[in-house]
Chains A and B, each alone.
Chain A
Amino acid sequence: MPDIDAQNLEQELREIIAKIVEIDPKEIGLNVNFVEDLGMDSMMALEILSSMEKKYKIQVPEEKLSRLRNLKDAIDLTKEYLKA
């Protein structure tokens, strides 16, 4: 994936997460922990996963939900399933 797409992906995912958690996208750094730093619960994580699937037309299995701990994980998961 070219760099520019990676940057777009990062920003798009940041905005998806910010909308669900209802915070400023600027607060979501790559390694900011969803649970410890943003107070996210498992159902918010499910909403993020679902939004990722809808936006990028991918299917991520339920068992991958535990891997979704920060923005970097969201990017990695999306890239993984975009390739699949």
Chain B
Amino acid sequence: MINIEEIEKLVPQKYPFLMIDRVTELKEGDYIKAYKCVTINEECFKGHFPDTPIFPGALIAEAMAQAACILLKKSMPNLQATLFYVTNIKIRFFKTVIPGDKLCVHIKTVKMTSIGGIFETEALVDSTMVSKGEMTFACK
């Protein structure tokens, strides 16, 4: 398990853009399972949408990317990169995520290198798949 103190050291994004609360499983070079507890206090709900709070798909993708970033850093401890840029993303969204949901992200490595990686991504709420896809990101 990786707690929030270590996550804050591993992920370059900070509040209000830190999208991982805890890592529950990690196998270096292979996969990571992590989650974010979505609450009504999220800044995004002020506008997305004022009367119908729905956690944006872009932020679900961001949670996936940040989990992949943790996996990459833990798998390659000598990696000097400090910034991560998504270069390609293909994600399908199946269900909405709302306040009160525990958003679990499961990331599996397709290809991992010192210049970036390709990952298969899934997001689940209560074991129901809400989103699935693949993303590539570069690190510098």
Q: Which residues on A are within 8 Å of B, measured CB to CB?
A: 41-44, 46-47, 49-50, 53-54, 62, 65
For B, the interface residue count at a CB cutoff of 8 angstroms equals 12
What is the distance, in angstroms, from A76's C-beta to the closest C-beta of chain B? 19
B88 contacts A49, C-beta separation under 8 Å: no
**Which of chain A's residues have a CB closer than 8 A to the CB of B88?**
43-44, 47
Select B136's contact among A47, A53, A54, A65, beta carbons within 8 Å.
A47
What is the distance, in angstroms, from A75's C-beta to the closest C-beta of chain B? 20
Q: Which residues on B are within 8 Å of A, measured CB to CB?
A: 87-88, 110-111, 113-116, 118, 136-138
What is the distance, in angstroms, from A50's C-beta to the closest C-beta of chain B? 4
What is the distance, in angstroms, from B81's C-beta to the closest C-beta of chain A? 13
A62 contacts B116, C-beta separation under 8 Å: no
What is the distance, in angstroms, from A35's C-beta to the closest C-beta of chain B? 14
B136 contacts A43, C-beta separation under 8 Å: yes
A46 contacts B114, C-beta separation under 8 Å: no
B110 contacts A43, C-beta separation under 8 Å: no
Contacts A42-B138, A43-B136, A43-B137 aside, 16 further interface pairs with beta carbons under 8 A come to A41-B87, A42-B115, A42-B116, A43-B88, A44-B87, A44-B88, A46-B113, A46-B115, A46-B136, A47-B88, A47-B118, A53-B111, A62-B113, A62-B114, A65-B113, A65-B115
